[in-house]
Structure 1
Amino acid sequence: MIAKGSKLYSIIFLKCPRCHKGKFLEANPYKLSNFNKLKERCPKCDLKYSIEPSFYTGSMYVSYAVGIAVAVAAYVLTLIFGLQLGIKSLFITIVVALVLTMPWIAAVSKSIWANMFFKFDKELAKKIN
């Protein structure tokens, strides 16, 4: 189990980087009506998620890296399962994997980006229910 207090907990469960209790996103990443929309502030500790306008533009770089990781994972899975795919089929498999995981990639990338700038506050987390 991933312990609260680690950045990995905040990233995987899409929680506030400072208190690890409040939700980071308005809705599930796959709810396309609120696609990739962040809450303005943490509902638990009132952390303002955006330091400056266009703060999350930098998460595009993280998104690229996470996308590459998903593409490599899709390729490795085809090898593990012993699928003998041609180059065209392999390309289509990777593109489908990227399209299906796109909402998750975008959400996790923003969470990773936020966790680079906000630090977990153990004392504050203890005070919050």
Structure 2
Amino acid sequence: MINKGTRLYSILYHKCPRCHEGNLFKTRAYDLKHFTEMPTECEHCHQRYALEPSFYSGAMYVSHALQVALLTTVYVALRVLFHPGTEVYIYSTIAAAVVLLPVTLRLSRSIYINFFVRYQKEQVNNK
């Protein structure tokens, strides 16, 4: 189990990086109409989630790294286990990227905000 107070907790559970109480996203990942929607601030500690205009544009770089890791994993798994033709590699990697898009988008935003906002234990007690 991952303990509160660590960045990994905030990243994996999509919690506010400052208090680890508030949610970073309004809905579940596969609510396809609203999976990108975020509240403007944490309902618990009032940390603003968009630190500046176009803040999450930088998360595209994190998302790119996550997609490269995902596609490399799919390629290696297919190569080691099945030795399929080129078409299978192409279709499998595209399918994995599309199906996991909501997850990688949310994960990249969560990682990105954790670069800039640190956990503050005293914020947990201030309700």
**TM-score range normalised by the length of the shorter chain:** over 0.9
- Name stretches of at least 5 consecutive residues in structure 2 with no aligned partner: none
Residue in 2 that maps onto 1:113: 112
| Alignment correspondent of 1:5 | 5
Show structure 1 runs of 5+ residues with no match: none
The Cα shift of 1:85 comes to: 1.0
2:26 match: 26
2:53 counterpart letter in structure 1? P
Structure 2: distance between partners of 1:75 and 1:128: 47
RMSD between aligned residues: 1.4
**What amino acid sits opposite 2:33 in the alignment?**
S
TM-score by length of 2: 0.93
Cα deviation digits, residues 18-61 of structure 1 (max 9, x gap) = 11111000111211121211111111111111111111111011
* Pairs aligned (count): 127
**Which residue number in structure 2 is paired with residue 59 of structure 1?**
59
Helix, strand or coil at the partner of 2:33:
helix
Q: Deviations over 1:72-114 (max 9, x none)?
A: 221233245x212112211211110010000111111111110
Identity of aligned residues (%): 36
SS in 1 for 2:100: helix
State the partner residue of 2:14: 14
Which letter does structure 2 place at the counterpart of 1:38?
M
Q: Report the more deviating stretch, 111-120 or 71-80.
A: 71-80
CA distance in 2, matches of 1:74, 1:44: 39
